[in-house]
Amino acid sequence: MNLYDSDREILLNPTGWLNDTIMNAAQEMLKKQFPNLSGLQDVALGLVVNFRIPGREFLQILHSPINHWVTVSTIDVQNPNTIKLFDSKFAAVTTSLKTQIAALLCTNNETIQVNVVDSHSQVKYKFCYSSFNILCTQMGSCDCGLFAIAYAVAVAFGKDPEVCIFNQEMMRKHLFHCFTEGILTPFPGRASNSATNTLGESIDVHCYCRMPEFKDIPMIECTNCLKWFHYVCCENVSEECMDSSDIEWFCCNCL
Ligand SMILES: [Zn+2]
Ligand SMILES: [Zn+2]
User: What's the gap in Å between 246 CA and the centre of ligand 2?
Assistant: 16
Q: What is the DSSP string of 187-231?
A: PSEEE-SSPPEEEEEEEE-BTTTTB---TTS-EEE-TTT--EEEG
Per-residue pLDDT tens over the stretch 114-163? 999 877 666 665 544 444 444 434 456 789 999 999 999 999 999 988 88
Per-residue pLDDT tens over the stretch 71-109? 999 999 988 899 999 998 888 899 999 999 999 999 999
Single pTM value for the model: 0.89
From the CA of 254, the nearest ligand is 2
Give the dihedral of Cα atoms 227, 231, 234, 238; nearest 10 deg: 110
* Domains of the chain, earliest start first: 5-204 (3.40.395.10), 217-255 (no CATH)
User: What's the gap in Å between 152 CA and the centre of ligand 1?
Assistant: 30
